[in-house]
Amino acid sequence: MIELHAVSKRYRMGETEFLALDSVDLTIGRNEYVALLGPSGSGKSTLMNLLGCLDSPTSGRYLLNGRDVSTMNDDELARVRNREIGFVFQSFHLLPRMSVLDNVAQPLVYRGIGRSERERLAQQSLERVGLGDKLRHRPNQLSGGQRQRVAVARALVGRPSLLLADEPTGNLDSRTSEEIMALFDELHRDGQTVVLVTHEPDIAAYCHRSVRVNDGRIAHDSARETA
Ligand code: ADP
Ligand code: ADP
């Protein structure tokens, strides 16, 4: 489902250049549950941004569901993001003036789906994360764990093939983190492909595969261990 072939990402800052990813090869299959680990500055966010089609590699090829997305322009990438990818962030990124239902329905606006159908799908998605009774609440009326559930519902509302989560438990206490990880676990068991970035080994332990990034390279991949 995900194939990276010799993917490099170089950032240019004035005169200097920085190689944030150095010829990365990575294959992730459908319904895998993967943790990306590594120290700060190792390239995890850069890798997530590429996987999520928020940015393009400087060189190398990225195939997502068989399509080469590495040569797409910004409009094409935006379309692939909207159709194929659900994002969850550390800081939730919910719109404070909108109801929970409208937050979750938002990604469907860009697909030209009518209002009542958007609301039906958003309600379904909120029920899936256990928040069917909070549709009319504002995000600031919810706990951190509930807000992250709203963000997960929003990520899933368009039925993305890939769910990407960047430090999804970074702002949550340990008990709430466990609840969110239990939710990801359930989604994975339902067939969802999940890739999450974390620097916490406890969180990575929930995943079925861990990929460690160091200095822009894959330093360790548990899928490559010989049994
Ligand atoms: P991580 O997520 O593992 O902390 P990042 O992918 O954010 O690592 O960053 C990897 C390296 O690339 C860091 O040295 C960072 O400073 C650099 N970097 C990331 N994004 C940019 C950017 N937009 N411009 C320049 N350098 C960047
Ligand atoms: P996170 O804490 O989620 O890993 P970062 O703080 O590493 O996020 O980066 C936040 C954003 O800033 C990212 O989009 C990253 O690409 C960008 N960034 C990181 N380092 C630099 C840098 N040195 N110069 C410019 N942008 C950067």
The CB of 44 under 6 Å from ligand 1? The reply is yes
Q: Which domains are present in the chain?
A: 2-223 (3.40.50.300)
What pLDDT does 187 receive? 96
Q: With residue 176 as reference, give the H or E element that holds it.
A: helix 174-189
What pLDDT does 179 receive? 96
What pLDDT does 178 receive? 95
The CB of 103 under 6 Å from ligand 1? The reply is no
The residue whose C-alpha atom lies closest to atom 11 belonging to ligand 2 is 45
Answer whether 199's CB lies under 8 Å from 24's CB. no
Q: What is the mean pLDDT of the chain?
A: 95
The CB of 43 under 6 Å from ligand 1? The reply is yes
**pLDDT tens-place string over residues 79-110:** 999 999 999 999 999 999 999 999 999 999 99
- Name the pLDDT band for 227 (thresholds 50, 70, 90): very low
The CB of 166 under 6 Å from ligand 2? The reply is yes
Strands 162-166 and 16-28: unpaired
- Average the pLDDT over 15-20 and give the result: 96
- Average the pLDDT over 22-37 and give the result: 97
Q: For residue 18, which atom of ligand 2 is closest to its CA? A: 23
